[in-house]
Amino acid sequence: MTELLVGLLARKRLVGALAGLLFLVGTAAWLTMPRQEDPSFVDRFATVVVPFPGADALLVERRILEPLEEELATVDDLREVESTARSGVAVMQLRLGDHVYDTDATWDEVRRALGDAELPAEAGPLRFDDDIGDPASVVLLVTGSADRLALRDAARQLEVALRQVPGVSRVDWVGDPGMELRVTVDPGEARRLGIAPERLAALLSSRNLTLPGGDLASDGRTIVLRPHTELADVAELRATPIALPGGAAVPLGEVAQVELSPLSPAPSLVRTNGEPAVGLSVVPTMPRDLVGFGHTLRSAVAEVDVGGLEVQVFADQPAQVEERLGELSRSLLMGVLIVALVLFVAMGPRLGVVVSSVVPLVAVSTVGVYAAGGGVLHQISIAALVLALGLLVDNAIVVAEAVQQHLDEGHPPQEAARRAVRELATPLFTATGTTLAAFAPMLISSGATADFTRAIPVVVVTSLVLSYLAAVAVTLLMAAWALRPAPTSGGRLESLARRLGGAVTQRPAAVVGGVLVALLATGSLLPFVAQEFFPLSDQTRVV
């Protein structure tokens, strides 16, 4: 392998072309790859609800939960089944094992087990939901009117437009007031005309039936007859003739008030800033590019005509993701600049340029390789890039210093580069491998936590591998081209390093003891440090 790396020194154009290609691929990936706030989770949770009207909790447990639990016991990949018996309903919370990634096949097995359970005829229907992990990304509120039915009609138009947006998985209603057709009979007028309320209800019921009309067969062709018995609108209902005892007929609108109205009591109500509202929550498909999805969704909403009403974006996760990733991207850029500044100050202009140039190259190339493997840009992957900044410069620093040392010894640039790669190729490979091994447990672990943090080892491992290749190829060529032999007299940093090195080697016991004392002292302070997996990003909202 060492001779292969030495051979690359004679192929400057090939190395430069490959490095430039990786940089361009990484730049394109950064601009186009999907963006989310957090990594996607595997859907390992589901709920089962079985109504059993009239049964107390004990009967629900015996007749519903026990048969279901016996059948679910045959599903090996179920990790946890939490059952709750209440009066008239049975609720089960299911959780798959952390090792399960093909959840569709396991949930199909769960459905078969639930279908095999012998439940009472009075129970049901059984409702199984394995989509509880898909949160809404955007919540829209329709406001601008005190008439909730007008808000509902506008929300219905908005729902039709939203379902046509690419990437929308489903649209759920928030605060749907419902709708009912109310017929209020004037008792005095009905008594005067001799119309009994029971007879009026029977007449309206028979007027609004959807009955099969039969079919006609002729010459081998069949024509289906559809009778027009269903009432089309409120005006048609108002015009429905009501037969009087004397044989005459009057329109329903003359003896009763016919109107559409919200359900009373309403199943749910929403108010925003003191005004009534009807909302829609939009759930995107998985995997998702939230930032691009948000732009498309907002454009679609702007084109919907809601009759002069106002559509408010109550919750906009895509905008939050765009802002959050923007902050992290600026932090990444600031980290690159800080690393470059430290290298300039500590190593001087020439060495600083040579070493710091590898930082943006490796960081951007890492993004390209990560995107090619199906990676998504989110706060965990960007945080992993920031973490890798301090690791990916180590190989370049060692290689550049080795080339500088051989230049100082009087060797020509190409010979200095060849000596450096022969000396350092294997040690740097070993050192990089030990660092990679430290992230191996995170990479091969499974479960919800591992799924959330998977991008950290993937990004760090990728950046370390690329940093090694860049150090033994790009950094070597740049060092041979840009570096010059340094003056014989050492600088202040070099003299300081000699004094510190001498002090350490003369008192090894004191150094080891001091390190142990510092380690024990810092370890004793750990109980006083607040522990949190990741900072919470929940936002308080009151509707």
- The pLDDT tens digits for 317-338 are 888 888 888 888 888 888 888 8
Question: CA quadruple 83, 84, 89, 92: dihedral positive or negative?
Answer: negative
Q: Indicate the angle between helix axes 317-347 and 358-372, nearest 10 degrees.
A: 150
Which two structure tokens, joined as six digits, stand for 425? 């190729």
pLDDT band of 219, cuts 50, 70, 90:
low
Instruction: Give mean pLDDT, residues 520-533.
Output: 84
Given this model, what pLDDT does residue 537 score? 57
Instruction: Give mean pLDDT, residues 55-64.
Output: 91
CA angle at 11 for the pair 10 and 15, rounded to the nearest 5°: 135
Instruction: Give mean pLDDT, residues 212-229.
Output: 54
Over the chain, what is the mean pLDDT?
82
Decide if pLDDT at 28 tops 90. yes
* 239-268 pLDDT per residue, tens: 777 777 766 777 777 777 777 777 777 778
Instruction: Give mean pLDDT, residues 139-165.
Output: 89
Given this model, what pLDDT does residue 293 score? 87
Going by DSSP bridges, is the β-strand pair 310-316/180-185 parallel, antiparallel, or unpaired? unpaired
Strand partners, 313: 140
Which two structure tokens, joined as six digits, stand for 189? 């007028």
Given this model, what pLDDT does residue 518 score? 93
Nearest alpha-carbon partner for 365 in 468, 472, 478: 468
Instruction: Give mean pLDDT, residues 173-178.
Output: 84
Burial 488-517 (b: 16+ CB within 10 A, else e): eeeeeeeeeeeeeeeeeeeeeeeeeeeeee
Give strand ranges (E) for 31-77: 45-51
**542 or 85: which leads in pLDDT:** 85
pLDDT band of 133, cuts 50, 70, 90:
low
Given this model, what pLDDT does residue 533 score? 63
* 397-433 pLDDT per residue, tens: 998 888 888 888 888 888 888 888 888 888 989 999 9
What's this model's pTM, rounded to 2 decimal places?
A: 0.72
| 8 A C-beta contact, residue 466 and residue 366 | yes
Given this model, what pLDDT does residue 216 score? 57
Please count the other Cβ atoms lying within 10 Å of the Cβ belonging to residue 142. 28
* 475-493 pLDDT per residue, tens: 888 888 888 887 655 566 6
Q: What is the DSSP string of 299-360?
A: HHHHT---TT-EEEEEEEHHHHHHHHHHHHHHHHHHHHHHHHHHHHHHH-HHHHHHHHTHHH
Decide if pLDDT at 176 tops 60. yes
Q: What is the DSSP string of 369-435?
A: HHHHTT--B-HHHHHHHHHHHHHHTHHHHHHHHHHHHHHHTT--HHHHHHHHHHHHHHHHHHHHHHH
Burial class (CB in 10 A: 0-12, 13-18, 19+), 419: middle
Given this model, what pLDDT does residue 542 score? 47
Given this model, what pLDDT does residue 413 score? 84
In whole angstroms, what is the distance from residue 275 CA to residue 24 CA? 52
* 432-458 pLDDT per residue, tens: 999 899 998 888 887 778 888 889 999
Instruction: Give mean pLDDT, residues 20-47.
Output: 87
Instruction: Give mean pLDDT, residues 330-354.
Output: 85
Decide if pLDDT at 214 tops 60. no
In whole angstroms, what is the distance from residue 220 CA to residue 419 CA? 93
Decide if pLDDT at 79 tops 50. yes
Residue 106 falls in which region: left (phi positive, over 0), alpha (psi -120 to 50) or beta: alpha
**93 or 214: which leads in pLDDT:** 93
In whole angstroms, what is the distance from residue 43 CA to residue 100 CA? 10
**157 or 496: which leads in pLDDT:** 157
Which two structure tokens, joined as six digits, stand for 250? 């009057």
